[in-house]
Structure 1
Amino acid sequence: MKKLHLVLAASAAAFAFSGAPAMAERGTDGDLKIIFWQAVSTMNPYLSGGTKEVYAASMVIEPLARYDETGGLVPMLAAEIPTVENGGVAEDLKSITWKLKPDLKWSDGTPVTANDAVFTWKYCTAPDGGCAQGAYFEGVTNVEAVDDQTIKVSFADAKPYPYSAFVGAQSPLIQEAQFKDCLGIKAPECTSANFGPIGTGPFVVNEFKPNDVVTFTANQNYRDASKPAFASVTLKGGGDAASAARSVLETGEFDYAWNMQVEPEILAQMMAAGKGQLVTAFGTQVERIDLNAFAVDPSLGDKRSTAEAGPHPALSDPAVRRALSIAIDREIIDEAGYGEAGQPTCNILPAPDIYVSTNVDWCLTQDIEGANKLLDDAGWVMGSDGVRAKDGVRLSFLYQTSTNSVRQGTQALVKDMWSQIGVEVELRNIAASVFFGGDPASPDTFQKFYADVQMYTNNFDGTDPEKYMAAWMCDKIPSPANGWQGENIVRYCNPEYDALVAELGRTSDLNERAAIAIKLNDMLSNDGAQIPLIHRGQLSAHSVTLEGVKMNAWDSELWNVADWSRKK
């Protein structure tokens, strides 16, 4: 696994972008057909933390810089990567200054200016706005337009790793002219802008049908006149992972299928048709079970799953959280659902290597006897029905996840394992387009978390974990006040954790940064905020006729879609 090297210590030359050879003419390869079995619900990644939204939007709206397939930073809208050596990062590390590439245009033909970056910061930090990517602006005190081409980002403290705001697919620039009336509480109401953002990427939205199909056409104002090779893109959503895989690997109906969360033996059978190939890369993706810190009884009404509801009556007990984790046999889950595309883990932060902890490996060995003893010692008494209880509270949990055969298989395995320690489980699955959709009116989103436990995967852009670990800070908890946005899905709140995140932001030495990140990881696992299960490789499929795909575990998988073409 590639180790992180601080960008501040590297030369600017290390970030030179080496793309595919220039194509002869834009739009000569017809329609690119992509399938996401988790359908896209918005094209605004600031209103959804869902990977499907981030990836779809990455074809349209772009950041100043992003990460290539090796995890290295490459400029996108920026002319170069700022460093201390080239003067872009201040000597005191309290600001970073970006220069835009010359003559950049939005897809409507208007110029991209530094004011658009200033506005994007204001948009994501507006009161009551509920920005899903708020951690990217953690510690930012100001964003200013020095001139039309120059953006200065200032920090409250010295920021040894300043590449957060406007870096990666989760933190793109949006156009001020389009979103100027969409600040704060008005953000979700701007349907036209959220479904069809004006961007700088290789494609523009032609038609958006929520949770169904998005069609795109080539951006005629894209900065490279020979790209993209495809005249249009059809992004189909829905179905299931197996049917999506089949549409590429067996029938050839689609060119690219994202997220092949399909049993290994089924994929092997599909590959025999010779129509497509699998591509994978291990990054920071971890399948995990969230344990809700707050009470979720439906009788609580609007207080449900919020601080006003009070602590969860069972999951607030550390013994319960620990017992749930060690009762799970991760090897069986990996073998049944992931094979070579997964490995058991106890870490929320599984990569790069320098950040990998071995301090929490206690969870790797299933221990039913130990889990039962923990619950016995904590006063949870086994009932005649096989379910433990204490002070009138039963260990009976609603366990939800998105609809997918591998996830439903994992649910069934975990339910059986937990039954062996006196825990009753009700299983529920929700369509991925709804579960990850971020609709504040829906009761079924993973942000709203109207269940005791839930399961999904998550990861972060790039190789530095600072902004990712900031997601578990107390002020990142979703609630009605922020439109149920915020990255702290588990509602974890620990002042010591928050202080460590702040310390990470002030630390420049790579080894010291790694030590702090490991402490943060260990705190999450030892406190039982979440139960890590499987370190997943990102596994997708593409047609044998599709060229230019560079599988990327550090950014959007569609990060270089402008370079894709049809094999002649």
Structure 2
Amino acid sequence: MKRISAAVALTAAGALVISGCAAGGGDDTGDDSGLVEGSAITAAWNQAFYSMNGNTSFGNATANNNINYLTLDGFNYYNNTPELVENTSFGTYELVSEDPLTVTFTVAEDVTWSDGTPVDAADLMLNWAALSRALDTPDFSPDDFTDPDTGEFTESFPTDVVYFDSGATPESGMGLVSETPEVGEDGRSITMTFDQPFVDWDLVFTPPLPAHVVAKNALGIEDNEEAKQALLDAIENEDAEALAPISSFWNSGFNFTELPDDPERYLATGPYMITDFVADEYITLKANPEYKGENAANIEEITIRFIPDPLAAVQALENGEVDIISPQATADIKTALDGIDGITVLTGLEGTYEHVDLQFDQGKNSQNIFSNAQAREAFMKVIPRQEIVDTLIKPIIGDDAILRDSQLFVPGAEGYDEAAADNTSANFAEVDIEGAKALLAESGITDTSVCILYASNNPRRVNEFALIQASAAQAGFNVTDCGSEEWGGLLGTPGAYDASLFGWQSTSLGVTNSLPTFVTGGINNMNFYSNERVDEIITELNGTFDAETQIELQVEMDRLLWEDFYGVTIFQFPSVTAYSDRVENIDPSIIAPTIFWNAWDWAVTDGGSEE
């Protein structure tokens, strides 16, 4: 018998990650029955994993962070309420002083990597160096050393510069910790002093990568403890000669599309560890025997198959080849799932939104078309936002399918209605061909080609691209196809495209964590946008603890983004998760990592292994 849930409400959400697809919400549940030996299930996702470092501009994608969430432990995570949960079995954090803002992060005793090496201050210090970029070579830009076909750094990348590709800026987050932290006497803690107050100080630490592995590879050291000490020395002495190869390995050493020969490149601290990985086919996770935390796995083995075509994912579920799917929702998907018995279907809205960004600089067009404000406004006028919603989204969720009219606020969240009324999104609710023609003529642009980057193996995106292309042609734009299956790694690559069509997925409820999308030089600033007042607002938000003032600042910022013709938001994602009756405790969150947030609680109902 099939069970179908009702749609869920959305709450405001913060930090953003490049989205593939995600799921709807539910209630917090748990299962402390313990590991069932021999138990195994298979889930499906629409994009292949390619990096264990989700903190780089290249690796910051849902496809990666789903896996990293289960294999790399951290100080906190979000449940599906959603609310922040302090993961004290990994470590704790303490506010030492409010003025100056000083905090101590401490790794719990007996926390180790899956090779048995203790997690300690060296791992935390590497995380600080990478996420603050306080030790980077000043004024270095990687733009000339980025492959436009892959988005990765080229072999010609200078070997004598310190550059951590985290996108950190001095005005926000860990970038506000410009002084080198102090290592505690216990060897498991560091104390950081912020340059100014920062409202989301408890969210600055993401799960660390193994310092001993980075240092061994970067510095040619074989012993784990010697490697960690060498890394600490390099950081504390600001040794640029040693930090250059350290930053280089941190940037790219954890990128891989199949199981590496060196097992140290995929060590784990979380409840699961990678044990098998076949390019473009699947990745297998097994319960980590070294994990001693509170979120111990119930199921011994989880295999995640990469199935880009959502209808193929539905077919795999019906055939019993996979147990859990969370494909990008379409009308065809809904119809197909309605015809399957023996499954549970959860539907609703989620914390991901579709949008089109325009490249303010370094586009593919010979005249860098969207450096011109009139050309940007003209193109926004021809994006058929309402037609996209009516054609592709309403057949799935009916009247819940609405235009999203804010770059910062989720529909229904406090501040959304005020922002939508204050900004100029209404000017782009309907297509205006004649207005676009006039603006394009006034712009002086003669090369009207616009190459759009999108996921070429995603049916909904293919349809969106076609609708935009047809509409834009009526105003004189020549929209060309920059679609790619490797679209995520290409975002932000100079010269690769002129506009991008993708989704931002919320990963946090923090006030400040969506701001790296819009701050000059931020990790999520893929379109080279820069506005001095927006940067000022972001700096103000970093230290603003009053909720009413936070909303006022964000409303002003939202208005500026629309007035700058940043790009358009289109819709909030509809979600669908379906799973077979042989699994239970599938209870998605509206924010990342959606279905995977409680994968350690998943259980096989028959207690057996998958055939």
Please give the range of the TM-score, normalised by the shorter of the 2 chains: 0.7 to 0.9
Give the structure 1 partner of residue 208 of structure 2. Answer: 173
Q: Which moved more, 1:525-534 or 1:360-369?
A: 360-369
Whichever residue aligns with residue 37 of structure 1, its letter is N
Displacement of 1:238: 4.2
Whichever residue aligns with residue 516 of structure 1, its letter is L
1:215-364 matches, cutoff 5 A: 215-224=284-293, 227-248=296-317, 250-258=318-326, 260-280=327-347, 282-297=349-364, 313-339=368-394, 340=397, 342-351=401-410, 353-356=413-416, 357-358=419-420, 359-360=422-423, 362-363=425-426
Whichever residue aligns with residue 268 of structure 2, its letter is G
C-alpha offsets along residues 147-206 of structure 1, whole Å, 9 cap, x if unaligned? 33434333110122313212xxxx212221122245222334525579943222111111
| Distance of 1:534 and 1:18 partners within structure 2 | 27
Give the structure 2 partner of residue 156 of structure 1. Answer: 195
| Distance of 1:391 and 1:517 partners within structure 2 | 34
Displacement of 1:288: 0.9
Whichever residue aligns with residue 163 of structure 1, its letter is D
| Distance of 1:468 and 1:133 partners within structure 2 | 13
1:106–1:198 CA contact under 8 A, matched in 2 = yes
Pair 1:202-2:271 in alignment: yes
Give the structure 1 partner of residue 113 of structure 2. Answer: 106
Specify whether residues 156 and 188 from structure 1 end up closer, same or farther in structure 2 by C-alpha distance, changes over 3 A only: closer
2:343–2:581 CA contact under 8 A, matched in 1 = yes
Large movers: runs of 4+ above 6 Å: none
Give the structure 2 partner of residue 380 of structure 1. Answer: 441
| Distance of 1:174 and 1:204 partners within structure 2 | 14
Whichever residue aligns with residue 26 of structure 1, its letter is L
| Distance of 1:211 and 1:154 partners within structure 2 | 43
Displacement of 1:29: 5.5
Give the structure 1 partner of residue 446 of structure 2. Answer: 393
Specify whether residues 525 and 119 from structure 1 end up closer, same or farther in structure 2 by C-alpha distance, changes over 3 A only: same
1:66-85 matches, cutoff 5 A: 66-77=77-88
Pair 1:213-2:282 in alignment: yes
Give the structure 1 partner of residue 531 of structure 2. Answer: 494
Specify whether residues 144 and 540 from structure 1 end up closer, same or farther in structure 2 by C-alpha distance, changes over 3 A only: farther
> When the two structures are superposed, what TM-score results if normalisation uses the length of structure 2?
0.75
Q: Which moved more, 1:402-411 or 1:262-271?
A: 262-271
Structure 1 residue runs of 5 or longer lacking an equivalent are 7-16, 300-311, 382-389, 439-443, 477-485
Specify whether residues 29 and 279 from structure 1 end up closer, same or farther in structure 2 by C-alpha distance, changes over 3 A only: farther
Give the structure 2 partner of residue 510 of structure 1. Answer: 547
Q: Which moved more, 1:90-99 or 1:54-63?
A: 90-99
C-alpha offsets along residues 226-263 of structure 1, whole Å, 9 cap, x if unaligned? 93121212122244222123322x223112223x2242
| Distance of 2:542 and 2:373 partners within structure 1 | 29
| Distance of 2:38 and 2:168 partners within structure 1 | 35
Give the structure 1 partner of residue 499 of structure 2. Answer: 453
Q: Which moved more, 1:394-403 or 1:133-142?
A: 133-142
Q: 1:414 aligns with which of 449, 468, 471?
A: 468
| Distance of 1:232 and 1:365 partners within structure 2 | 48
1:136-147 matches, cutoff 5 A: 137-141=174-178, 142-146=180-184, 147=186
2:401–2:571 CA contact under 8 A, matched in 1 = yes
Whichever residue aligns with residue 22 of structure 1, its letter is D
Displacement of 1:553: 2.4
C-alpha offsets along residues 287-316 of structure 1, whole Å, 9 cap, x if unaligned? 1111111243487xxxxxxxxxxxx54322
Indicate the structure whose relative CO is greater, using CA pairs within 8 Å and at least 6 residues apart: 2
Q: CA RMSD in A?
A: 3.1
2:41–2:303 CA contact under 8 A, matched in 1 = yes
| Distance of 1:504 and 1:411 partners within structure 2 | 35
> When the two structures are superposed, what TM-score results if normalisation uses the length of structure 1?
0.81
C-alpha offsets along residues 489-537 of structure 1, whole Å, 9 cap, x if unaligned? 1110122211111111111101111221222233222212222111224
| Distance of 1:545 and 1:133 partners within structure 2 | 44
Q: Aligned pair count?
A: 508
2:360–2:527 CA contact under 8 A, matched in 1 = yes
| Distance of 1:269 and 1:236 partners within structure 2 | 20
Give the structure 1 partner of residue 30 of structure 2. Answer: 20
Give the structure 2 partner of residue 303 of structure 1. Answer: none
Q: Which moved more, 1:539-548 or 1:87-96?
A: 87-96
| Distance of 2:558 and 2:388 partners within structure 1 | 22
SS at match of 1:343: coil
| Distance of 2:315 and 2:430 partners within structure 1 | 38
Specify whether residues 91 and 225 from structure 1 end up closer, same or farther in structure 2 by C-alpha distance, changes over 3 A only: closer
Q: 1:61 aligns with which of 72, 81, 91?
A: 72
Q: Which moved more, 1:546-555 or 1:352-361?
A: 352-361
Q: 1:470 aligns with which of 502, 516, 522?
A: 516
Whichever residue aligns with residue 413 of structure 2, its letter is D
